Amino acid sequence: MQERIKILDSEEKKAESSNTSDNETPSPADWKDNTHTQIIKASESRQYRQYELAFDRVKLFYKEQHQKQTVAYNIQARINFKSKIRDRMTVWEALMKLNKLLDESDPDTELSQIDHSLQTAEAIRKDGKPRWFQLVGLIHDLGKLLYFYDSQGQWDVVGDTFPVGCKFSKKIIYHEYFRDNPDSKNPLYRTKYGIYTPHCGLDNVMLSWGHDEYMYHLAKEQTTLPPEGLAMIRYHSFYPWHSEGAYKYLMDEKDKELLECVQAFNPYDLYSKSDIRYDIEELKPYYLELIDEFFPNKIVEF
């Protein structure tokens, strides 16, 4: 049976959660320092994103994703997103719903989504990061709810993201699978800039549709998260960019600043993964209060 660890006592929690006030403007120093929690330190000896050793399900997932994430599909997915409300529930109810999903693209863990969300949020919290940062850790994968509604499988929900409408970078994992993507044969889409212009800014780039884009748009409309938090949500799976240095020629000046905060978030998303599980019921009161702080409406439209 997996170990269940007890959370901090009430006094420790109070001290650790008082790192920023409700109205405090986010400071770059809040997320730029390289402090790591004991959970992250304990994980540094473990290898992550070892795709050459990945389960067959991971490889099959990326083969399908790379084949089907086309410009045409992405345009239609965005039209579908705006056309209806799929569900209404609280954030906590949504997190519980995600317990039914096993991410087929993840080679590092087979724990439930709520376990990963709490591992990430708690690692951020223990480092004394601002409360908006903690919330990002909790909800960054909440967009995976898309799997239960409009998805055609997991290929349009999870996995690393990348721009469509321009040449697929060789820095994308399993790049060779793009040979079966129709856009690889399109005279415009296969060029370096494709449908974009140099340094047009990532706000103007269509990233492969999935939980990042879905949750980013929901959070942009229904939370009071700062731009840094929204960027962490939108780009956390954009590994070719934030970890491999690809697509810099599409960035504008604002993207250079946001890249830093996405890179600050990434270790918490990646290295907090472990077999240690938190007691969900003990953590629930703290995170319900945190959710209410940044979601003006308790019932979220998904």
Binding residues for substrate: 49, 103-105, 144, 159-160, 236-237
Instruction: Show binding-site residues.
Output: 49, 103-105, 116, 140-141, 144, 159-160, 211, 236-237, 269
Q: Report the C-alpha gap between 140 and 162 in whole angstroms.
A: 17
Q: In degrees to the nearest 10, what's the CA dihedral of 39, 45, 49, 50?
A: -150
φ, ψ for residue 104, nearest 5 deg: -75, -10
Query: In this structure, how many other beta carbons lie within 10 angstroms of the beta carbon of residue 159?
Result: 27
Q: Report the C-alpha gap between 232 and 216 in whole angstroms.
A: 9
Query: In this structure, how many other beta carbons lie within 10 angstroms of the beta carbon of residue 218?
Result: 19
C-alpha distances (whole Å) from 70 to each of 74, 75, 143, 176, 177 are: 6, 9, 20, 15, 13
Instruction: Note whether 205 and 250 are within 8 A (CB).
Output: yes
Instruction: Note whether 181 and 67 are within 8 A (CB).
Output: yes
Name 186's Cβ contacts closer than 8 Å, sequence gap at least 6.
71
Relative orientation angle of helices 131-139 and 227-235, to the nearest 10 degrees: 20
Q: Report the C-alpha gap between 122 and 94 in whole angstroms.
A: 19
Instruction: Show binding-site residues for Fe cation.
Output: 116, 140-141, 211, 236, 269
Residue recorded with tokens 């990532």? 202
> Which of 236, 24, 216 has its CA nearest to residue 130?
24
Looking at residue 136, the DSSP 8-state letter turns out to be H
| Torsion sign (Cα): 110, 111, 117, 122 | negative
φ, ψ for residue 162, nearest 5 deg: -165, 160
